[in-house]
């Protein structure tokens, strides 16, 4: 019933599951069948074999016992037969006629000398051998008549008789029923034995063959006793051995071949329905085995009838007769019951056949029943397996209905439970996944919208400098409405002009191997400053422009750019990011800021100016007032001189200030020759020093122009030169050199001043930092120089040795046309 | 006012602290014209040294002090002086017109805040005013 629903999905679902489970599918059933066969059939076979052997053994025992009984019975029968004969013959020997005949003969011969005896015996022998009609007295003697009468009994022995005769003590024939015997039988061993033996001695001879007829004969001899119980003659009875015993032996047959036979202890057959009497059994071992002292049976190889197979032979000695025979000839007589092994073992073979058949049938039955049972067991297991494999594949599987009422049902229930729980947890997982997906999507949208909303352009490059990501701001900058630039190089976007992008690309390429992680790119903290009373002209920090160092001009707009390292995943290839910020306004603001800084809050800058001017002004005013009240012309002249000196100082200060304050935004940028600007700056600087003690060494090279505002460049050099001249306190040497270097212009200004202490080297660009005495510097000079150099993308370096002098070297990028 | 009186009077002694010799000379000429004794110091450090030596700490009637000076500047010098000789009036004479600094210094007990360049009459009026007022004792 459940084969069909279970089988169908197995076929359907088998597509994927076949590889791993096909081999295992048929295994359980076979295993079960085999187990049943082994468990059921092996003991069965063992039991059968055992019972076969046991049966065979019992059967053999039974057969042997019955053979033994048969042999014994036969032997008893023959014993009785022989005893009967002995008794009958004993009676015969007591017959007076017989005795007298023997006595008479003995007496007659006793008185004859040997010559007469020989003659008489020869005569009688001749008469016996050549009988004349009615003259053969022996036949007609009374003794012969008695003998003949004796044979008239209708007994088997009478019929088997071949000769019956008597002989006297000399062995001379004294009566016979036929002419079978010799006349003188002295040589007969029986005669000797009996005549010399004791009373009652009976002789039974061995089987021998009649010289003429080849008939196997056996001789019985009985003593004829005289007056003193002394043997006086012998009664001989010769039987055809076969005829004598066959009546007792040959009728006993069983089956087709079973029969009893009689042998003597030498293995000579006395009577057998098959073998001829007198036949010598060939196997001495067999003969020895079956001629034990007591009735028994044996299982032996060979049967005495030519067969070589195992046979069972029952045997029994002739209990009474053996005494006689062994005394007579040393031989014992035995009966032995035998059956041909084929027939004998037929029942055993039959038993074997039955048992094997039964075994085979049982095995077959076990096989069939096992198969059925295994199918019954395996079927639900297969359903379970199928369901489990479907569950494993994540299919939705309904509840399994297995009602076997055993462990399999319990297992099915467990599987159902497991399935339910799995489905529950799966659905839970699905929900989680859905939620997580939602979260991820939200996060992505969130990040995307952040990146989209950021006014700065963000571009992420892969290690081959192809664009991996760009935001809206970037699209706005390049002013191209393309869905995605992914996989493109910035050089392949068809941008015009390409030069700034090429510059940017080169920078990216250079930075690809040497970028700083974005984390390190942070602006310094700018805490709120609380005002405390201090020298306002003391050095103070101002926001550095270094973070905006790198700028690029794209379409009339100035962008500060920053390259940062992007660690996407541990061990992934290096990505770099480019951040572009529109700093056009900031740059403008910065210019204004620079100005504003110079004019800052009247509190600082005007203070500087005021201080610079007010000090000489104090002197001028003061001395002028003194002059007004003074009468002494010498003193007046002296004070007037001071007024003039101080006025000159003021002029110098004003000159400095004017160059400093002038707003740089008034002029436009143009190509500027550095050499020219340096010359101009030298003029002003020298003028301002009022000193004749400065020696100037110039070594100018021919230079490419730079692109800048002329006044600002002049300001840079003026400030530096003023600084140096002031440092040398009007006495010393200025060495000024310029040269072109790798697309840059480099100017060096060295003085022979006292040098800058190392601890000040980092502070010299700070605004209002000064080491000069009151009135000799604003503290803004080098700050302005630094700002301007940075503004034009240049660099400024300073080296200084105490007591030897200071060298400033300034680099500006050359303007490439 | 006899010479001895003048010489012994603390009220007639003025300490000028300024790093520029010309400024000191002008101030001295102005003050001497009204018979005030003048002692000079080139900067805050020298002024403090001067005040510590001898009896000057008590005998100076007025201090005129510049702000921007090398070594020890005016602000630092005033802080020291106000701590150690709070009774001596101090007038700041600076070429540096900063109202915040002025307020801050006045709070520290500076008598007046004069901005360079200054006329002789104005200077003398302020000096007189400071000298004629009662010596200020430590009321802080």
Give the pLDDT confidence of B76-87 residue by residue, as tens digits.
Answer: 889 888 888 888
CB–CB of A615 and B30 under 8 A?
Answer: no
Distance from CA of A791 to the nearest CA of B (A): 32
Main-chain dihedrals φ then ψ at residue A501, nearest 5 degrees: -70, -35
3-state helix/strand/coil string of A328-341: HHCCCEEEEEECCH
* Tokens of residue A173, six digits: 């024939």
- On the question of pLDDT at A1 being above 60, the answer is no
State whether residue B116 sits within 8 Å of chain A by CB: yes
Highest mean pLDDT among A277-286, A397-406, A634-643, A646-655: A634-643
> Higher-confidence residue: A102 or A519?
A102
Q: Is the pLDDT of residue A7 over 70?
A: no
Q: Per this entry, what is the length of chain A?
A: 817
Which of A622, A642, A774 has the CB atom closest to B30's CB atom?
Answer: A622
Crossing angle of helices B74-84 and B44-52, in 10° steps, is: 20
pLDDT at B30 over 80: yes
Residue A111 in contact with partner chain B when CB distance is under 8 A:
no
What is the structure's pLDDT at A199? 60
CA distance A317 to A72: 8
Query: B94 and B104 in contact (C-beta within 8 Å)?
Result: no
Closest CA to A259 of A67, A418, A117: A67
Distance CA A172, CA A163 (A): 15
* Calpha distance A725→A686 (Å, rounded): 8
In chain B, the residue whose alpha carbon lies closest to the alpha carbon of A609 is B96
Q: Is the pLDDT confidence value at A25 over 70? A: no
pLDDT value for B58: 57
H/E stretch holding A564: strand A557-566
For A514-557, what is each residue's pLDDT tens digit?
654 444 333 333 333 333 444 444 433 333 343 335 677 777 77
Long-range CB pairs of B69-74, under 8 A, 24+ apart, other chains included:
B69/A774, B69/B17, B69/B18, B69/B19, B69/B42, B69/B43, B69/B44, B70/A773, B70/A774, B70/B19, B70/B43, B71/B43, B71/B44, B71/B45, B72/B43, B72/B44, B72/B45, B72/B47, B72/B48, B73/A535, B73/B43, B73/B44, B74/B17, B74/B44
Strand partners, A323: none
The nearest alpha carbon in chain A to B118 belongs to A618
* Structural domains of chain A, with CATH: 94-244 (3.30.450.20), 457-519+537-582 (3.30.450.20), 583-666 (1.10.287), 668-817 (3.30.565.10)
Q: Cα distance from B117 to chain A (closest Cα, Å)?
A: 4
Q: How do beta strands A670-672 and A694-699 pair?
A: unpaired
Does the CB of A635 have a partner CB in chain B at under 8 Å?
A: no
Q: Could you tell me which residues come within 8 angstroms of residue A778 by beta carbon, excluding any fewer than 6 positions away?
A: A608, A612, A656, A657, A660, A768, A770
- Tell me: pLDDT of B5 over 60: no
Q: Do A622 and B70 touch (CB under 8 A)?
A: no
Instruction: Name which of A535, A537, A774 is nearest B20 (Cβ-Cβ).
Output: A774
Residue B103 sits at the chain A interface (C-beta within 8 Å): no
pLDDT exceeds 70 at position A49: yes
Q: Which chain A residue has its CA at the smallest distance from B105's CA?
A: A533
**Cα–Cα dist A247/A270, whole Å:** 13
Q: Which pLDDT does position A745 carry in this prediction?
A: 92
Most confident of the ranges A326-335, A563-572, A603-612, A738-747: A738-747
pLDDT, averaged across chain A:
77
Closest CA to A247 of A84, A491, A66: A84
| Dist CA A768 CA A721 (whole Å) | 17
What residue in A sits closest to B98 (Cα-Cα)?
Answer: A603
User: Omega into A390 within 30° of 0, i.e. cis?
Assistant: no
Q: How far apart are CA A20 and CA A10, in angstroms?
A: 13
Q: Which residue of A has its CA nearest to B23?
A: A619
For the residues of A195-216, what is the DSSP string, one character each?
HHS-TT--EEEEEEE-TTT--E
**Helix (H/G/I), strand (E/B), else coil: A741:** strand
The CATH T-level fold of domain B3-130 is Rossmann fold (3.40.50)
- More reliable by pLDDT, A302 or A531: A302
Residue A668, min C-alpha distance to chain B (Å): 35
Instruction: Reply yes or no on whether the pLDDT at A110 is more than 60.
Output: yes
pLDDT, one tens digit per residue, over A427-463 is: 888 888 889 989 988 988 888 888 888 888 888 888 8
The region, left, alpha or beta by phi > 0 then psi within -120 to 50, assigned to residue A487 is left
- Looking only at the bridges linking them, the beta strands covering A269-271 and A258-264 are antiparallel
Closest to A341 (Cα-Cα) out of A298, A316, A314, A308:
A308
pTM above 0.90, yes or no: no
Q: What is the pLDDT of residues B49-103, one digit of tens each?
A: 888 876 555 578 899 998 877 677 788 889 888 888 888 899 999 876 677 788 8
pLDDT average, residue stretch A646-668: 65
Q: Which of A602, A606, A613, A618 has the most B C-beta neighbours within 10 Å, making it the best mutation to test the interface with B?
A: A618
Tell me the chain B residues in contact with residue A607 when contact means C-beta distances shorter than 8 Å: 96-98
Name the residue in chain A with its Cα closest to that of B123.
A622
> Looking at residues A382-410, what average pLDDT do you find?
82
Q: Which of A619, A621, A768, A773 to mutate to test the interface with B (most CBs of B within 10 A)?
A: A619
Q: Which residues in chain A have Cβ-Cβ distances shorter than 8 Å to B67?
A: 535
Report, in angstroms and rounded to the nearest whole number, the Rg of chain A calculated over CA atoms: 78
The enclosing H or E element of B102 equals helix B99-107
The shortest C-alpha distance from A644 to chain B (Å) reads 12
For residue B12, the distance in angstroms to the closest alpha carbon of chain A comes to 21
Stretch A346-356: mean pLDDT = 83
Strands A231-240 and A216-225: antiparallel
The least confident of A324-328, A688-692, A752-756 is A688-692
Size of interface A-B (CB pairs under 8 A): 91
Place of tokens 């055809």: A240
Q: In Å, what is the CA distance from A331 to each residue of A318, A327, A582, A607, A746?
A: 11, 8, 147, 172, 154
A136 three-state secondary structure = coil
B62-78 burial code (b ≥16 CB/10 A, e <16): bbbbbbbbeebbbbbbb
Instruction: Please answer yes or no on whether A618 and B118 come within 8 Å at the CB atom.
Output: yes
| Predicted pLDDT of residue A750 | 94
Residue B116: band (very low, low, confident or very high) from pLDDT cuts 50, 70, 90: confident
pLDDT digits (tens, 9 = 90+) for A597-613: 444 434 444 555 666 67
What average pLDDT score do residues A302-306 get? 76
Q: Which residues of A touch B101 (CB under 8 A)?
A: 533, 536
- Per cent of chain A over pLDDT 70 is 80
Contacts of B109 in chain A (CB under 8 A): none
Decide which of A372 and A514 is more confident.
A372
User: Of A535, A619, A629, which has the smallest distance from its Cβ to B23's Cβ?
Assistant: A619
Tokens of A28: 């359980």
pLDDT over 50 (residue B35): yes
Min Cα–Cα distance to chain B from A711, Å: 29
Q: Taking 80 as the threshold, does the pLDDT of residue A590 lie above it?
A: no
Per-residue confidence band for A187, with pLDDT thresholds at 50, 70 and 90: low
Give the DSSP letter string of A232-271: EEEEEEEEEHHHHHHHHHTT-EETTTEEEEEEETTSBEEE
A741 phi and psi angles, rounded to 5 deg: -150, 110
Domain ranges of chain B: 3-130
Quick one: closest CA in A to B73, which residue? A535
Strand partners, A459: A470, A578
Q: Judge whether residue A170 has pLDDT over 70.
A: yes
Q: What is the 3-class SS of A14-34, one letter each residue?
A: HHHHHHHHHHHHCHHHHHHHH
**B75 to A613: CB separation less than 8 angstroms, yes or no:** no
H or E element in which residue A163 lies:
strand A161-168
Q: Are A792 and A727 in contact (CB under 8 A)?
A: no
Per-residue model confidence (pLDDT) at position A545: 40
Can you give the pLDDT at residue A571? 65
Length of chain B: 140
Among B16, B19, B22, most A C-beta atoms within 10 A, so best to mutate, is: B22
CB–CB of B96 and A773 under 8 A? no
In Å, how far is A547's CA from the nearest CA of chain B?
A: 33
A interface test, pick of B31, B93, B116 with most A CB neighbours within 10 Å: B116
Retrieve residue B79's tokens.
């802080």
User: Is A631 within 8 Å of chain B by CB?
Assistant: no
As beta bridge partners, residue A220 has A204, A237
Determine the 3-state secondary structure of A536 from DSSP: coil
Q: Do B116 and A531 touch (CB under 8 A)?
A: no
Average pLDDT over residues B11-37: 88
CA A377: distance to chain centroid? 30
The CA distance from A650 to A654, in Å, is: 6
Give the pLDDT confidence score for residue A256 in this predicted structure: 82
Confidence (pLDDT) at A747: 94
Contact of B8 with chain A, judged by CB distance below 8 Å, is answered with no
What is the predicted pLDDT for the residue at A691?
Answer: 56
Q: By the 8 A CB rule, do A194 and A169 touch?
A: no
Is A606's Cβ below 8 Å from some Cβ in B? yes
CA distance B35 to chain A (A): 15
Count the alpha carbons within 13 Å of A610 in the hemisphere toward its beta carbon.
22
Asked if A211 reaches chain B (Cβ–Cβ under 8 Å), the answer is no
Q: How confident is the model at residue A228 (pLDDT cuts 50, 70, 90)?
A: confident
Q: Which residues on A lie below 8 Å from B23 (Cβ)? A: 615, 618-619, 622
Q: Which of A611, A617, A626 sits opposite B96 (nearest CB)?
A: A611
Query: ipTM value of the model?
Result: 0.78
Greatest mean pLDDT range, A660-674, A719-733, A800-814: A800-814
Nearest chain A CA: its distance from B100 CA (Å) = 8
CA atoms B12, B15, B21, B22: torsion sign: negative
Does residue A356 have a pLDDT over 80? yes
- Tokens 């200077």: give the residue: B123
A811 pLDDT tier (thresholds 50, 70, 90) = very high
Give the one of B25, B70, B98 whose C-beta lies nearest to A603's C-beta.
B98
Tell whether the model's pLDDT for residue A637 goes beyond 80. Answer: yes
Bridge partners of A467, per DSSP, are A461
HSE-CB at B29 with a 13 A cutoff on CA atoms is: 22
Exposed/middle/buried for A556, CB within 10 Å: 0-12, 13-18, 19+? exposed
Site from B71, B98, B107 to mutate, A interface, most A CB atoms within 10 angstroms = B98
Chain A residue nearest residue B33, CA to CA: A626
Q: Is A713 exposed, middle or buried (0-12, 13-18, 19+ CB in 10 A)?
A: buried
B95 neighbourhood in chain A, CB within 8 Å: 610-615, 617-618
């Amino acid at each position: 019933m459940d084969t069909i629903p279970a089988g169908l999905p197995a076929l359907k679902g088998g597509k994927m599951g076949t590889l791993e489970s096909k081999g295992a599918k048929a295994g359980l059933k076979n295993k079960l069948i085999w187990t049943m066969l082994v468990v059921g059939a092996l003991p069965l076979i063992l039991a059968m074999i055992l019972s076969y052997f046991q049966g065979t053994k019992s059967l053999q025992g039974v057969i042997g016992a019955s053979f033994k009984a048969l042999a014994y019975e036969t032997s008893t029968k023959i014993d009785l037969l022989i005893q009967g004969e002995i008794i009958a013959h004993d009676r015969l020997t007591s017959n007076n006629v017989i005795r007298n005949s023997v006595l008479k003969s003995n007496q007659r011969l006793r008185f004859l000398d040997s010559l007469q005896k020989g003659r008489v015996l020869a005569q009688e022998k001749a008469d016996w051998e050549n009988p004349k009609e009615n003259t053969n007295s022996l036949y007609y003697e009374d003794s012969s008549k008695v003998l003949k009468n004796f044979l008239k009994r209708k007994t088997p022995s009478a019929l088997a008789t071949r000769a019956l005769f008597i002989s006297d003590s000399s062995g001379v024939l004294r009566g016979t029923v036929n002419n079978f015997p010799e006349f003188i039988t002295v040589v007969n061993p029986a005669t000797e034995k009996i005549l010399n033996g004791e009373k009652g001695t009976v002789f039974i001879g061995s089987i021998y063959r009649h010289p003429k007829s080849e008939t196997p004969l056996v001789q019985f001899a009985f003593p004829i006793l005289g007056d003193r119980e002394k043997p006086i003659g012998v009664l001989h009875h010769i039987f055809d051995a076969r005829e004598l015993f066959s009546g007792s032996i040959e009728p006993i047959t069983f089956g087709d071949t079973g029969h009893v036979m009689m042998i003597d202890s030498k293995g000579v057959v006395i009577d057998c329905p098959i073998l001829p009497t007198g036949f010598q059994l060939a196997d001495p071992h067999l003969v020895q085995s079956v001629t034990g002292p007591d009735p028994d049976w044996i299982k032996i190889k060979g049967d005495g009838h030519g067969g070589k197979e195992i046979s069972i032979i029952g045997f029994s000695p002739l209990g009474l007769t053996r005494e006689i025979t062994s005394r007579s000839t040393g031989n014992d007589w035995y009966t032995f019951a035998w059956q041909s092994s084929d027939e004998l073992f037929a029942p055993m073979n039959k038993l074997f056949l039955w048992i094997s058949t039964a075994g085979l049938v049982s095995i077959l039955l076990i096989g069939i029943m096992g198969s059925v049972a295994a199918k019954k067991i395996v079927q639900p297991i297969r359903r379970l397996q199928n369901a489990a494999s479907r569950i494993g594949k994540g299919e939705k599987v309904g509840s399994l209905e297995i009602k076997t009422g055993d462990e399999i049902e319990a297992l099915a229930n467990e599987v159902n439970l497991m399935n339910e729980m799995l489905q529950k947890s799966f659905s839970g997982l699905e929900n989680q996944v859905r939620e997580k997906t939602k979260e991820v999507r939200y996060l992505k949208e969130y990040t995307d919208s952040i990146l989209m909303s950021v006014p700065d352009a963000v571009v992420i490059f892969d290690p081959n400098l192809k664009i991996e990501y760009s935001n809206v701001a970037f699209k706005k900058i390049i002013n191209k409405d393309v869905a995605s630039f992914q996989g493109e190089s910035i050089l392949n976007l068809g941008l015009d002009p390409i030069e700034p992008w090429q510059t940017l690309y080169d920078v990216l390429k250079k930075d690809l191997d040497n970028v700083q992680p974005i984390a390190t790119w942070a602006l310094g903290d700018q805490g709120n400053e609380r005002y405390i009373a201090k020298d306002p002209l003391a050095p103070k920090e101002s926001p550095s422009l270094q973070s905006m160092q790198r700028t690029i001009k794209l379409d009339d707009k100035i962008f500060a750019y920053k390259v940062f390292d992007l660690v996407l995943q541990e061990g992934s290839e290096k990505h770099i990011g480019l951040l572009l910020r529109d700093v056009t306004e900031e740059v403008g603001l910065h210019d204004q800021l620079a100005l504003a800084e110079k004019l800052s809050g009247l509190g600082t800058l005007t203070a500087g100016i005021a201080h610079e001017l007010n000090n000489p002004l104090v002197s001028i005013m003061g001395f002028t007032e003194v002059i007004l009240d003074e009468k002494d012309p010498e003193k007046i002249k002296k004070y007037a001189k001071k007024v003039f000196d101080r006025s000159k100082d003021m002029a110098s200060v004003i000159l400095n200030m004017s160059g400093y304050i002038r707003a740089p935004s008034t002029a436009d940028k143009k190509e500027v020759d550095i050499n020219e600007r340096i010359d101009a700056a030298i003029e002003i600087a020298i003028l301002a020093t009022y000193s004749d003690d400065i020696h100037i060494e110039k070594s100018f090279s021919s230079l490419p122009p730079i692109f800048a505002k002329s006044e600002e460049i002049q300001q840079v050099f003026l400030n530096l030169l003023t600084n140096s001249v002031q440092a040398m306190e009007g006495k010393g040497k200025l060495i000024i050199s310029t040269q072109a270097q790798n697309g840059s212009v480099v100017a060096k200004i060295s003085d022979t001043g006292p040098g800058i202490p190392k601890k000040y080297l980092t502070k010299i660009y700070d605004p209002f930092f000064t080491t000069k005495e009151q009135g000799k510097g604003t503290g803004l000079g080098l700050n302005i120089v630094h700002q301007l150099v940075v503004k034009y993308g240049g660099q400024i370096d300073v080296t200084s040795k105490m007591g030897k002098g200071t060298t400033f070297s300034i680099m500006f990028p050359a303007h490439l046309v | 006012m006899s010479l001895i009186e003048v010489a012994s009077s603390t009220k007639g002694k003025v300490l000028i602290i300024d790093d520029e010799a010309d400024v000191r000379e002008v101030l001295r000429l102005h003050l001497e014209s009204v018979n005030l004794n003048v002692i000079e110091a080139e900067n805050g450090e020298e002024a403090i040294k001067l005040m510590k030596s001898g009896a000057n700490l008590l005998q100076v009637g007025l201090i005129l002090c510049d702000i921007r000076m090398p070594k020890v500047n005016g602000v630092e010098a005033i802080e020291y002086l106000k701590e150690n000789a709070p009774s001596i009036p101090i007038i700041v004479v600076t070429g540096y017109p900063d109202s915040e600094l002025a307020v801050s210094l006045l709070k520290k007990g500076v008598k007046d805040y004069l901005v360079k360049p200054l006329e002789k009459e104005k200077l003398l009026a302020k000096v007189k005013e400071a000298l004629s007022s009662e010596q200020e004792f430590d009321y802080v």
